[in-house]
Structure 1
Amino acid sequence: MLQANDEQLAQLPGSDYPLGANWDGGGVNFAVYAQNASRVWLCLFDEAASGAERVRVPLHKFTHGVWHGYFPDLRPGQLYGFRAEGPYQPEAGERYNVNKLLLDPYARSISGELKWDDALFGYELGHESGDLTFSDKDSAPFMPKCVVIDQQFDWQNDRMPRLARERSVIYEAHVKGLSQLHPDVPEELRGTYAGIAHPAMIGYLRDLGINTIELLPVHTFVSDHHLHERGLSNYWGYNSIGFFAPDRRYASGSEPGSEVAEFKEMVRRLHEAGIEVILDVVYNHTGEGNHMGPTLCFRGLDNHGYYRLEPGQARYYRDYTGTGNTLNTTVPNVLRLIMDSLRYWITEMHVDGFRFDLASTLAREQFDVSRDSAFLDIIYQDPVISQVKLIAEPWDVGDGGYQVGNFPQGWSEWNGKFRDCWRRFWRGDEGTIGEVSCRFLGSPDLYQADSRMPSASINFITAHDGFSLYDLVSYNEKHNAANGEENQDGESENLSWNCGAEGETEDEQVLNLRRRQQRNLLCGLLLSQGTPMMTAGAECGKTQNGNNNAYCQDNEISWLDWERRDHDLYAFTRALLAFRRDNPILSQDNWIMGDRASSTDARTVAWFTPEGGEMKTKHWHEAHRKTLCIFLTQRASNHDMAAATLYLIFNASHEAINVTFPRRAYKRSWELAFASLEPQEQEALTWQQSVNCPPHCVLVFRSREK
């Protein structure tokens, strides 16, 4: 190994910007933020997995908290990492340990897998003094390595689809789980970026009617130590350690850095098909865990400068995320890291937007969530980031973290109230129709007063976290034994209903009801105003066998089973998505106020009892009511004198309900346009002035206002 005083590796001062390893065609500039380190070493390797450290050389220049140097002899493909010297004083929040190889926070590619070993920890694992001890074990043999890459890529005039928010239909999927078992995707491409880009996969999405795919985390992440000890792994990927590097687990190629081009090719092909790409990003914490966690990157470069530490107890981390640590978005270097990462994924990787995991944490100032936080302010003024789709998961685990409806203009939000309300309604809970009517209109109670539109509400019934749609109608209780935590993990109250039997059954009556309930829930999602988000597999009966926290199940529990999918449910979902697309009245991006639709007395939206009369205040407060009837139309314009008109019936009752169509200004000649019934059940329906609405069903009638 070359020593610090060797002259065999030329080093010039270089620049403190941009951060990371940047190849300019003549050499590589390295720049890393480590403001409180006394020295930072650049370490070069020949092989990612077991190659010995070939060079260790100190970076000579220190500017504005950044250590940097330019190396004209280095080229793309070079493997590297850093080591940082400084005090090891956990009580004071300082955790420097030069024996630990550190990843570059700005690495564009990371090669090799983390191999769990005692050497990864900055302290002597198992010692009675815990993290107050100091470990002199070298962690390099067990660490992945960063890769210098050449960013050149032929985008072939790639153009982002730029879909209107109200027209988006989001499909939340896992890169591996989506294609891992797909029979038409070549085996060597399954579970990869290339697998999603395969014509069979893109064709499936287009045929279904999906125009936006939201990928679970693709940033390089580490699997948790406690999962490793149980023989499991972190499947979802919410444990980021590299905010610029697409994870190599999902690459089909073996060359270091090839995953970057493969990811770009995936995006290009999806864009070519008119499908947007949104990334689920985790900037609220890192994979280094709490004070007993490993030293992999940020902790060893500048523990004080990256993390929120407990005031007066700097040995410990403030934890708003439930993962052991929280990145400190109140300091400039962390904000710069996040903004640089976001801009990189937009400008270099061409993604169309982001879903921010535990976004409330990012918006916290010293303690509380604030709409005036530095994080939200800097995004608002950024000319690049502010122009893509921004979706907040508007909660975290800290006090005051539940912020549904409170993010500023320009943001959409996962609407957990929409999910819970529709689940309660179709479960048959009493007293739900008032809130259901509000959620149906795009949740004006949450977004209208703040000058946001219905598209700000990301409506969903299920997500990766929780029951699948099939399990939501098949289980009353979670069944997470496979996770190895004695069924103590995961949400206990799922607002689910098993339709009369827990889990798998051969009772045809129960199975028929489950099929109906899945269709009902999809109707609630896709007939409501706002931006719908489906979870991959909801359209074809995906089950996780009652596991509602499959974060550690990288196996058939999580992967889509393409051989056993429900083709009838798929056909129904496809038709429902087409119905939404063909009826823009269902995806308006203005508030439906109930004003007059034309010169008649009919309103753009009106609510009726099954008896045909308009809902009055007393009706909304009758807890036993489980049938909602909605007249929905649009104001006719000079360009379109015929406005589409729908009459929607949502019947969550256990009994058939005779529904009389409204009269006077609302009288129409109705035709059945869509229903959650089986085809033979629809054929048996008759109506004139009224219709006998079966239990647990949705009926949608259509007319034309002349």
Structure 2
Amino acid sequence: MSSAAEQEAVAAERATGDGRPAAVVNGARSAPPVPTVAVRPGRPTALGARFRVGPDGVAGTNFALWAGGAEGVELCLFDERGGESRARLTELTHGIWHGFVPGVLPGRRYGYRVHGRWDPWTGARWNPAKLLLDPYARAVDGDFRLPPEVYGHVRDWPEQHVADTVRDDRDSAPYVPKGVVVHDGGPDDEWTYDRRPKTPWADSVIYELHVKGFTRRHPGVPEELRGTYAGLAHPAAIEHLVRLGVTAVELLPVHQFAHEDHLLRRGLRNHWGYNSIGYFAPHAGYAASGTRGQQVGEFKRMVRALHAAGVEVILDVVYNHTAEAGELGPTLSLKGVDNRGYYRLQPDARRYADYTGCGNTLHVVQPHVLRLITDSLRYWVTEMGVDGFRFDLAAALARSMHDVDMLSPFLAVIAQDPVLRRVKLIAEPWDVGSGGYQVGAFPPLWTEWNDRYRDTVRDFWRHALPDVREMGYRLSGSSDLYAWGGRRPYASVNFVTAHDGFTLRDLVSYGRKHNEANGEGNRDGTDDNRSWNCGAEGETEDEDVRALRRRQLRNLLTTLLLSTGVPMLVAGDEMGRTQRGNNNAYCQDNEIGWVDWALVDDPDWRPLLELTSRLIALRHRHPVLRRRAFFSGRAHSADGLRDLAWFTPRGTEMTEDDWYAPAATLGMYLSGRDIPGRDEDGAPVLDDSFLAVLHAGHEPVEFELPGPPWARRYEVVVDTAREEQDRAPAVEHRGGKRITVPGRTVLLLRVRA
């Protein structure tokens, strides 16, 4: 508080009134009058700031903001020196405040001040002292700082139990970024010659990467472009994607985001970006060309460059919560526009319902919130050129009143939208609320991150599964989860690692997390890593341990790329990237969180990169490895061969008892004769047949290769016991022969015609 007298006045009002602290002016000083600008009525649509030339030839910008419960809205315009002028929007249409301001051109910065009641007990948190970012701003200039002035409440109120109820009347404008008016119709908006790859789901291989982290240390990218959209569009970066053979990049969040207060106080920053505050604006920190709207064109050019290389662009989007946190969080945008209208509140409306673990949850059931999300999604598809979305904590979006509902308004709107139902949609099918784990439950339009696949494969290769039943399901497309309602095997996005958790190399190098650099006492991040350090914790000079780790990486990558479903790789895993045991590197905007491109030429790791590329190419060549329908297990061919068969090391087909027996070895036969569908000429799809032998035990095992009718001869295609796959001599075996499979090895054998 600014004085003891003010504290006493507020305390007296609390004692004589209804028990609620009054709004106070905390450190407010008299200021000169703010200049005003002329405003015309304008239009209520489209929302946001839209530059146009009116019928009378006057150029300007139409501003429209939904603030249904507000009592007034002021548009704030900023000049090059930061000077502010205001225009009160007097037109109100269906909850939308709007006006046209002549002379406001692209590149002009702006924000809003929204007037209304301050009554946190009923969820009303309007505070016109706080400059608010337009929820529809398509570009943002400046970074978020979090001094006390950007909070709607007085942060240093002495009584903590009412800390968020005392209004702070200090101006936040000097401390928050501004929206930027963006010009439509420039050369970057011409998509006529853009060729979207449109890769079918079954043929997709996804590569999850961070825009900054992928190129920040890339020696082939010019220094001034590293860590930017332009850097990702550079031929040196794209060449790696093409060399690998991936069909899509899944970009960690690129919506404008803010850094959390607890990170800034520790001298850290949010690196991953799961703290969105602007759903239409490409994050300004990733722009090399400028932040007065130039970031929009730079992003579009990146998309075009990736498309030209045959690579789709999928965005990881965070519509479940925003950067405004809970009742003690800052007032940056939606909280000040209409807190009750945008966020889910508890019965005690002062508190937020939190299904995300981040302090708040967007109230997607509200029509204007649903409109905000779907308008944003359509914008990124139609105007920014992206090809799909991965929805963070998607179960939170599928909640109706409280429970997750697969008939929720959000899922229903997506299903009928003529734009959104045609793009790739990936759900992270859980949130942190009760009943939030929904793997396998999303409707047929959706694919899902399959964490059951992740856990099973990790457990198999550390020899921690009680039997091989679960492994059989995961290898063959997870029919136990997805074979319903017309869903296909590609509903399962298979992954062993993701941005959240250990890298692949760390998975075989650390038995426990090492998150000390995060400054949280190593308490953050999961303890359920299902990892095995191969006998030494962390980096070691023991060559036997190092060789075993490289073999385990080959096993994990080979398993992933041979499994039915859509494989997802994490940038750098193909060349042994490490985060030094950090399994929660969300705040490591440094060498821990960036890809180390020196590994490409490291003799220890180059063979892993070559194997990954070779396996992806093998997958692209053979439709039997990327089926569009689930296996039936029934015989279709005249010789009695089934599309899928399972074998024990004895060379016999597995019985029910075999599935339940402790085992570390599994043989999977994939027939290329009975692949559903037709080729481009309408003929049946025919392919080679394969036998994959996966052995997770430490000791070698004798495995009898199935003889006729399964195969007369086999050719070894992949042997993970070898460091160098391409230099291995050609090896063939006859059907019925007993071969020795080394410990911890995958063998892929092709049936010779």
Q: TM-score normalised by the shorter chain: which range applies?
A: over 0.9
Looking at structure 2, the residues matched to 231 and 329 of structure 1 have their Cα atoms a distance apart, in angstroms, of 34
564-573 or 516-525, which moves further after superposition? Answer: 564-573
- Judge conservation of contact 2:715–2:752 (CA < 8 Å) in 1: no
1:2 to partner: Cα distance: 10
Q: Does 1:82 align with 2:112?
A: yes
CA separation of 1:31 and 1:642: change in aligned 2, threshold 3 A: closer
CA separation of 1:169 and 1:184: change in aligned 2, threshold 3 A: same
- Judge conservation of contact 1:421–1:432 (CA < 8 Å) in 2: no
Alignment of 1:26-65 (within 5 A): 26-47=59-80, 51-53=82-84, 55-65=85-95
Q: Does 1:462 align with 2:462?
A: no
- Judge conservation of contact 1:643–1:704 (CA < 8 Å) in 2: no
Unaligned runs of 5+ residues in structure 2 are 1-30, 54-58
What is the match of residue 249 of structure 1? 285
681-690 or 244-253, which moves further after superposition? Answer: 681-690
Equivalent residue for 1:11, pick from 29, 39, 55: 39
What is the match of residue 93 of structure 1? 123
CA separation of 1:569 and 1:171: change in aligned 2, threshold 3 A: same
Q: Once the two structures are superposed, what CA deviation does each residue of 1:9-29 show, in whole Å capped at 9, x if it has no partner?
A: 332111111100011233211
Q: Structure 1: which 4+ aligned runs deviate by more than 3 Å?
A: 1-6, 636-643, 679-688
Looking at structure 1, the residues matched to 561 and 411 of structure 2 have their Cα atoms a distance apart, in angstroms, of 30
Equivalent residue for 1:405, pick from 408, 416, 440: 440
573-582 or 607-616, which moves further after superposition? Answer: 573-582
**2:642 counterpart SS class:** coil
Equivalent residue for 1:281, pick from 304, 317, 328: 317
Aligned length in residues = 698
- Judge conservation of contact 1:10–1:73 (CA < 8 Å) in 2: no
What is the match of residue 436 of structure 1? 471
1:678 to partner: Cα distance: 1.7
**Matched letter for residue 16 of structure 1:** P
What is the match of residue 489 of structure 1? 524
Looking at structure 2, the residues matched to 642 and 174 of structure 1 have their Cα atoms a distance apart, in angstroms, of 38
1:108 to partner: Cα distance: 0.3
Q: Does 1:677 align with 2:721?
A: yes
CA separation of 1:640 and 1:283: change in aligned 2, threshold 3 A: closer
- Judge conservation of contact 2:607–2:723 (CA < 8 Å) in 1: no
125-134 or 585-594, which moves further after superposition? Answer: 125-134
Looking at structure 2, the residues matched to 660 and 683 of structure 1 have their Cα atoms a distance apart, in angstroms, of 21
**1:99 counterpart SS class:** coil
CA RMSD of aligned residues (A): 1.6
- Judge conservation of contact 1:283–1:356 (CA < 8 Å) in 2: yes
**1:131 counterpart SS class:** coil
CA separation of 1:680 and 1:258: change in aligned 2, threshold 3 A: closer
419-428 or 675-684, which moves further after superposition? Answer: 675-684
Equivalent residue for 1:340, pick from 363, 371, 375: 375
- Judge conservation of contact 2:123–2:345 (CA < 8 Å) in 1: yes
Equivalent residue for 1:634, pick from 672, 680, 688: 672
- Judge conservation of contact 2:414–2:420 (CA < 8 Å) in 1: yes
Report percent identity of matched pairs.
51
CA separation of 1:157 and 1:667: change in aligned 2, threshold 3 A: closer
Looking at structure 2, the residues matched to 364 and 267 of structure 1 have their Cα atoms a distance apart, in angstroms, of 32
Looking at structure 2, the residues matched to 617 and 641 of structure 1 have their Cα atoms a distance apart, in angstroms, of 31
Looking at structure 1, the residues matched to 224 and 290 of structure 2 have their Cα atoms a distance apart, in angstroms, of 11
- Judge conservation of contact 1:423–1:461 (CA < 8 Å) in 2: yes
Q: Normalising by structure 2, report the TM-score.
A: 0.91
Q: Once the two structures are superposed, what CA deviation does each residue of 1:44-95 show, in whole Å capped at 9, x if it has no partner?
A: 0014xx7121x11110101101100011221111100000111111111000
What is the match of residue 701 of structure 1? 749
Q: Once the two structures are superposed, what CA deviation does each residue of 1:310-343 show, in whole Å capped at 9, x if it has no partner?
A: 01x1000000000000000111010000000000
- Judge conservation of contact 1:592–1:605 (CA < 8 Å) in 2: yes
Looking at structure 1, the residues matched to 127 and 143 of structure 2 have their Cα atoms a distance apart, in angstroms, of 21
Looking at structure 2, the residues matched to 4 and 695 of structure 1 have their Cα atoms a distance apart, in angstroms, of 76
CA separation of 1:213 and 1:642: change in aligned 2, threshold 3 A: closer
Q: Does 1:240 align with 2:276?
A: yes
- Judge conservation of contact 2:39–2:87 (CA < 8 Å) in 1: no
Equivalent residue for 2:698, pick from 635, 642, 654: 654
Looking at structure 2, the residues matched to 330 and 156 of structure 1 have their Cα atoms a distance apart, in angstroms, of 36
Equivalent residue for 1:574, pick from 585, 599, 613: 613
Looking at structure 2, the residues matched to 432 and 41 of structure 1 have their Cα atoms a distance apart, in angstroms, of 65
1:493 to partner: Cα distance: 1.2
**1:666 counterpart SS class:** coil
Looking at structure 1, the residues matched to 282 and 311 of structure 2 have their Cα atoms a distance apart, in angstroms, of 20
**2:438 counterpart SS class:** coil
Unaligned runs of 5+ residues in structure 1 are none
**1:571 counterpart SS class:** helix
- Judge conservation of contact 2:622–2:687 (CA < 8 Å) in 1: no
Equivalent residue for 2:709, pick from 665, 675, 693: 665
Q: Once the two structures are superposed, what CA deviation does each residue of 1:454-510 show, in whole Å capped at 9, x if it has no partner?
A: 111000000000000000000010000000010000000100010111101111111
What is the match of residue 159 of structure 1? 195
Alignment of 1:566-645 (within 5 A): 566-623=605-662, 625-635=663-673, 639=683, 643-645=687-689
**2:484 counterpart SS class:** helix
Looking at structure 2, the residues matched to 607 and 117 of structure 1 have their Cα atoms a distance apart, in angstroms, of 62
Equivalent residue for 2:172, pick from 132, 139, 164: 139
CA separation of 1:255 and 1:548: change in aligned 2, threshold 3 A: closer
